[in-house]
């Protein structure tokens, strides 16, 4: 018999920063076997950035038992909650945890007076843009100034922005 404990969505804590970085590192292995395999070698989000998001209420984790199995990191950007990163351990994939995390961000966005969720993702990876489209996100045709700035940040990090799209979903 498999022991599947209920997953709880809650605010991330400073003592979980390394666990969150490990989730991001492990989750990146999903890119192996795709046209974006090089992403599996990327460094996870810097611990200082994660600490800032925790302090600002912009990091939620999905925990099972004692530790996190997934997380979402977000920040306010142009009146929206911009989802910077969302990762689920491969061992916990396909259980709706990512969707639950996004719903929790949407609820916080409503409470904070934000109009929508936005994100930037790869258009050709099945667990990226097609997944978000199934969750009600639509491709943004004309970038806002904030999105253009995020795109420039991505390009400075070496991301292929021709393979990416911005998406939006009202909350």
pTM comes to 0.90
Measured on CA atoms in the order 137, 140, 144, 150, is the torsion positive or negative? positive
pLDDT tens-digit map of 138-157: 999 999 999 999 999 989 98
pLDDT tens-digit map of 97-134: 999 999 999 999 999 999 999 999 988 877 789 999 99
Average pLDDT, the chain: 90
Spell out the domains of the chain, with CATH numbers in brackets: 7-170 (3.40.630.30)
Which of 26-40, 133-147, 148-162 is predicted most confidently?
133-147
Tokens 């925990």, residue located: 63
Reference 72, options 95, 54, 91; nearest CA is 54
């Amino acid at each position: 018999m498999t022991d599947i404990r209920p997953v709880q969505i809650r605010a991330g804590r400073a003592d979980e920063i390394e666990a969150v970085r490990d989730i991001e590192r492990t989750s990146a292995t999903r890119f192996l076997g795709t046209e974006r395999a090089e992403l599996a070698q990327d460094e996870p989000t810097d611990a200082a950035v994660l600490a800032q998001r925790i302090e600002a209420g912009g990091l939620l984790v999905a925990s099972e038992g004692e530790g996190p199995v997934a997380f979402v990191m977000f920040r306010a950007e142009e009146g929206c909650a911009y989802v910077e990163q969302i990762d689920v351990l491969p061992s916990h994939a396909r259980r709706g945890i990512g969707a639950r995390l996004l719903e929790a961000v949407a609820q916080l966005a409503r409470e904070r007076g934000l109009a929508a969720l936005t994100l930037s993702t790869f258009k050709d990876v099945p667990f990226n843009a097609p997944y978000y489209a199934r969750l009600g996100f639509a491709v943004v045709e004309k970038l806002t100034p904030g999105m253009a700035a995020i795109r420039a940040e991505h390009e400075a990090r070496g991301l292929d922005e021709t393979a990416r799209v911005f998406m939006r979903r009202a909350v």
